[in-house]
Structure 1
Amino acid sequence: MAVTQQLARIPAEYLTSCQQSADESPDGDPHWDPPTADTLDLDWAPTLLERICELGGLDDVHLNALRQSTEGDVAIDLGFLNTHPHAIGPFGPAPTALSAAQVARVSELLSQIDLTALLAALPTDETEAASLIGDGPARIVGGPRKYLLGHFNALREFYRDASQRHLLLVLWWD
């Protein structure tokens, strides 16, 4: 089983409800089950996306927004989602979150990133491009460009929708 980056866009009230459920449950069960339509599996694309942006010379403001979009923030306490036996991300770091205001800012900055241009800076040979990106991309079916562009566009759209709906995001590895 591969460990992959997961995101869920939820209302703050849902997170409060999960906290309350965890507090009231004898075994700490938060009853975490966001709707499938509001979840995103980024596979293991986050590190590769960051590497592409570094190689392409993306400025620090936008690179930090990309990092925040996949790493979250620790300002919101999600310890109740990381408690055995109901931990949502038992195979990676503790879950993190972004507030609705942070989501809006990250969404704005992600919309300004031209990943196609950053990918164009790579060598045209897929094997050579994959070796620059790092370990693993050479094995991506369809090539790293298609994989990364698809995952980046999904991430950007996910954030755009969360921002428009004033939702916060919870991030974890599972």
Structure 2
Amino acid sequence: MAVTQQLARIPEEYLAACRQSAAASSDGDHHWDPPANDVLDLDWAPALLRRAGEVAGLDAAHLDALRRATDGESALDLVFLDTYPHAIAPFGAAPTGLGISEVAQVSALLGRIDMPALLAALPADEGEAESLIGLMGGPITGGLRAYLLEHFNALRDFYLDAAERHLLVVLWWD
């Protein structure tokens, strides 16, 4: 099973209930199970999206938005989600997250990124573009540009929905 990046958009109350469950449970079981339609699997796209932005000359504010959207921050208390035996990220770094205002900021900046134009700024030759991006594991089925556009659109839409619903975003690698 490949380790991929996961994101969940959740209400503050859900996070508080999971934290309370972990504290009340003798083995720290937090009962983390966000609804499937509020979880996004970004595969290995985060680093590739950021690198494509760098190569294509995306400005610092929008690059930072991509970083925050895929790395999160440590503003949320998520230690209980990283505690054995119920850790949600047993193969990666500790879970991170973004609060409601940070989600809104990131969503607004992602919404201003013109990904088709950014991808058009990459070298026309697929092999050359892949070389600059630094693919891990070889060529991507369907092509680099299609992969990046699909995952960027999913990320942007995910954050837009989270911002509109005033939700937190929790990120982890699983």
User: TM-score over 0.5 for the alignment?
Assistant: yes
Query: Counterparts in 2 of 1:91-106, with a 5 A limit?
Result: 91-106=91-106
**Where does residue 69 of structure 1 map in the other structure?**
69
**Where does residue 2 of structure 1 map in the other structure?**
2
Shift of residue 104 of structure 1? 0.4
The alpha-carbon distance between structure 1 residues 137 and 93, as it changes in their structure 2 partners (threshold 3 A), is same
Residues in 2 aligned to 1:117 and 1:138: alpha-carbon distance in whole angstroms: 24
**Secondary structure of residue in 1 paired with 2:42:** strand
Shift of residue 5 of structure 1? 0.5
CA RMSD in angstroms, aligned pairs only: 0.9
**Where does residue 151 of structure 1 map in the other structure?**
151
- Structure 1 residue ranges without an equivalent (≥5): none
**Secondary structure of residue in 1 paired with 2:162:** helix
Residues 134-143 or 96-105, more deviating? 134-143
Residues in 1 aligned to 2:62 and 2:120: alpha-carbon distance in whole angstroms: 18
**Where does residue 116 of structure 2 map in the other structure?**
116
* Preserved contact between residue 7 and residue 169 of structure 1 (Cα < 8 Å): yes
Task: Give per-residue Cα distances to partners, 1:29-82, cap 9 Å, x unaligned.
Answer: 000000000000000000000000000111111110110000111011100000
**Where does residue 87 of structure 1 map in the other structure?**
87
Shift of residue 135 of structure 1? 2.8
**Where does residue 39 of structure 1 map in the other structure?**
39
Percent of paired sites with the same residue: 66
**Where does residue 107 of structure 2 map in the other structure?**
107
Which TM-score applies when normalising by structure 2?
A: 0.98
**Where does residue 11 of structure 2 map in the other structure?**
11
Task: Give per-residue Cα distances to partners, 1:92-122, cap 9 Å, x unaligned.
Answer: 1100010011000000000000111111111
Shift of residue 139 of structure 1? 1.9
**Secondary structure of residue in 1 paired with 2:81:** helix
Which TM-score applies when normalising by structure 1?
A: 0.98
Task: Return the letter of the residue paired with 1:88.
Answer: I
How many residues align structurally? 174
